[in-house]
């Protein structure tokens, strides 16, 4: 079965620092990849997704992610974080079964110090 | 509706009692998913509905958990004889049929269940 690993449990950065959150999935083939974000007290929202084509995907609020097939990775990046980026970030991939459900990583909590 | 609606938003229950959680998906979304989010554990997939059918219930953590969906719309997740380990946020998501693998889901705000 597919699995998703997020390497960092909690990341603490100062404003304007660069961000990279790691995400690896267990096996390849055709795969769609997602990053979701959960701001404090809010519901999970789609941040960006890779479906096909350009492996560098741009999402909302200046986030981007790069799909590297050879490394089974889909790392999330942002050149300069803001205090408002404080949230929990989840990487997700389809389970590959018949149900079309997504498998989520355990999440990375990002705290940005003003 | 405009989004996925879940109720109640918070539920505190005594151990051993039954609880019922409700999810109202986006209108026209035929696929509906339940997840459980526990602290530090990420999102655990529970069950999926396509229309009123749930073809695979193996994700439900025990036979105390059941779910149904009527009219291809509202779904209820029922937990019988609640235990403290059932405490978590229960999330519902919906999507167009089989679109989740391409486009992702829309999530509700969740029900925070606390068993005391």
Beta-carbon separation of A92 and B110 below 8 A: no
Cβ atoms of B31 and B97 closer than 8 Å = yes
Beta-carbon separation of B42 and A92 below 8 A: no
The pLDDT tens digits for A87-112 are: 999 999 988 766 678 899 999 999 99
pLDDT value of residue A28:
67
Residues in chain A: 114
User: Which tokens hold the place of A15?
Assistant: 């404003």
pLDDT value of residue A27:
73
Residues in chain B: 116
Beta-carbon separation of A92 and B41 below 8 A: no
CATH number of B5-99: 2.60.40.10
DSSP string, chain B: --S-EEE-SEEEE-TT--EEEEEE--TT--EEEEEEEETTTEEEEEEEEETTB-S--TTSSSTTEEEEE-TTS-EEEEESS--GGG-EEEEEEEESTTTHHHH--EE---EEEEE-
Q: Which residues of B touch A34 (CB under 8 A)?
A: 104
Kindly state the average pLDDT of the residues A5-27. 94
DSSP lists the bridge partners of residue A52 as none
User: Which tokens hold the place of A89?
Assistant: 């970030």
Tell me which architecture the domain covering A4-113 has in CATH. Answer: Sandwich (2.60)
Dist. CA B101–CA A100, nearest whole Å: 6
Radius of gyration over every alpha carbon of chain A, rounded to an integer in angstroms: 14
Cβ atoms of B90 and B21 closer than 8 Å = yes
pLDDT surpassing 80 at residue A6: yes
Task: Name which of B42, B56, B108 is nearest A104 (Cβ-Cβ).
Answer: B42
Instruction: Chain B: give the shortest CA distance to residue A108, in Å.
Output: 9
pLDDT value of residue B1:
54
The pLDDT tens digits for A27-83 are: 766 678 999 999 998 999 999 999 888 999 999 999 999 999 899 999 999 999 999
Beta-carbon separation of A32 and B102 below 8 A: yes
Dist. CA A68–CA B3, nearest whole Å: 33
């Amino acid at each position: 079965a597919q699995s998703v690993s997020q390497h960092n449990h909690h990341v603490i950065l100062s404003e304007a620092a660069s961000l990279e959150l790691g995400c690896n999935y267990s096996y390849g083939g055709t795969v769609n990849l997602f990053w979701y974000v959960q701001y404090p007290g809010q519901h999970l929202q789609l941040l960006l997704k890779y479906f096909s084509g350009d492996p560098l995907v741009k999402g909302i609020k200046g986030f981007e992610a790069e799909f590297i097939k050879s490394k089974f990775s889909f790392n999330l990046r942002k050149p300069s974080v803001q205090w408002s980026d404080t949230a929990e970030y989840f990487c997700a991939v389809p389970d590959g079964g018949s149900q079309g459900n997504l498998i989520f990583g355990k999440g990375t909590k990002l705290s940005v110090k003003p | 509706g405009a989004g996925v609606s879940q109720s109640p938003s918070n539920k505190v229950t005594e151990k051993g009692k039954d609880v019922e959680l409700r999810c109202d998906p986006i209108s026209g979304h035929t696929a509906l998913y339940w997840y459980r989010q526990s602290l530090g554990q990420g999102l655990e997939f529970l069950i999926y509905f396509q229309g009123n059918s749930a073809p695979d219930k193996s994700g439900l953590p025990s036979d105390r958990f059941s779910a149904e969906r009527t009219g291809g719309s509202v779904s209820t997740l029922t937990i019988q004889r609640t235990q403290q380990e059932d405490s978590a946020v229960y999330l519902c998501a919906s999507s167009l049929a089989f679109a989740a693998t391409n486009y992702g889901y829309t999530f509700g705000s969740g029900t925070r269940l606390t068993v005391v």
